[in-house]
Amino acid sequence: MLKSFVAALVILPVFAQAQSDSSASQVGTSRISGSATRSREDTSTIRTNVRATQKKPRNLKFQFLNQAYAYQRDLTNGERPVASNYTYAGVSYKFAPTQYASVRLPFSYYVPKGEGESRFEMEDAYLNYWHSDLATFFRDTSLSGMVRLYLPTGEDSRYIDKRNGAIRATLMTATELGGRWSLDYLVYGQFNNHTQETYRVNERNWANIDRTFVQGASVNYAIGDSWSVSQLVGTTSNFAETGDRYGDTEHFLNAVSSLFYQINSGLSASAAFHNDVEIGDELRPFRFAMDEDITYIFSIAATL
């Protein structure tokens, strides 16, 4: 298994998070097993509906997110479908009208598909600095940015792949298209620092991902004040110093469909369908809807 950046590319307009300071949906780092491990770190299966969260926010808020992953390959093979859960607890503080800082402490819970015991695992804690209004273009397009610092507190970082930390820079735009439609675009780059370039798990050698580049655009539609849907198309590129079983780079085309429900101003839920296809895979042709490329993610987030 390779330590990936979990989670795919559901572009949440994190603007909504910043504007309403509602429950954010940033997915943390975790480990995903499978024939094509991909970089899928930030972005989420939760889209915050701004219309439902117009209350004046408090400066200090506590946050909770839980995501359960189910893989189509397991469903097809008749195995236990829910293999892992990713959870974080955190706190955010609004120290200026458009600027936020937060710290999140994530962990994962793994359920074996057959024999064996379930396993609890700490993930890398991270710090966020968020600016929700860097600039405005054409009156309808907003630009926001984030800097994130990962600390090597997770069990993988400490004992397996020796990651000393990581830093990420993100830019996002949100454009109101009129009525209930909006268009979002996200791009981020992440650099990971490792003590060792390769590591060994279950008698297999793996290479650490050194850099990751993610970009994608999503179209969103609000169904009333509580429901919304979105469709994202984007790409993910991983770069490793020493290469892995597919070479020293991996490129994925990501297609993500998601449904979001704002239960109340502090509680939300979502479901997402991820189809992530590797570009240039030497072992199989490029095509959509293969079982090993499909992941379902079910999320619930709360802000207090």
Amino acid at 194: H
Nearest Cα neighbor of 42 from 253, 188, 250 is 188
> Given this model, what pLDDT does residue 44 score?
42
Q: Are 130 and 102 in contact (CB under 8 A)?
A: yes
Strands (DSSP E) found in 35-180: 60-71, 82-96, 99-110, 119-122, 126-137, 141-150, 163-178
Give the least confident one: 80-84, 128-132, 241-245: 241-245
Distance CA 268, CA 25 (A): 10
pLDDT of amino acid 113: 67
* Cα-only R_g, the chain: 18
Predicted pLDDT of residue 45: 37
- Rounded to whole angstroms, the Cα distance separating 128 from 34 reads 29
Residue 156 is classified by DSSP as H
DSSP letter string, 71-105 = EHHHHHTTS-SEEEEEEEEEEEEEEETTEEEEEEE
Mind listing the pLDDT tens digit for each residue in 269-291?
999 999 988 887 666 666 676 76
pLDDT confidence bin for 56, thresholds 50/70/90: low
Pairwise CA distance, residues 109 & 122, whole Å: 9
Closest CA to 3 of 135, 83, 108, 102: 108
Average pLDDT value for the chain: 78
The Cα–Cα gap between 297 and 262 comes to 17
What pLDDT, on a 0 to 100 scale, did the predictor assign at position 74? 79
Of the chain, the percentage scoring pLDDT greater than 90 comes to 46
pLDDT digits (tens, 9 = 90+) for 203-241: 777 788 889 999 999 999 999 889 999 999 999 998 886
Q: Indicate the length of the chain as a whole number.
A: 304
Q: Which of 47, 33, 39, 34 is nearest to 257 (CA)?
A: 47
Residue 266 has pLDDT above 60, yes or no: yes
pLDDT at 81: 55
More confident residue, 17 or 66: 66
Q: Which helix (H) or strand (E) holds 16?
A: helix 14-20
Q: In the chain, what is the straight-line distance between the N-terminal and C-terminal CA atoms, in Å?
A: 35
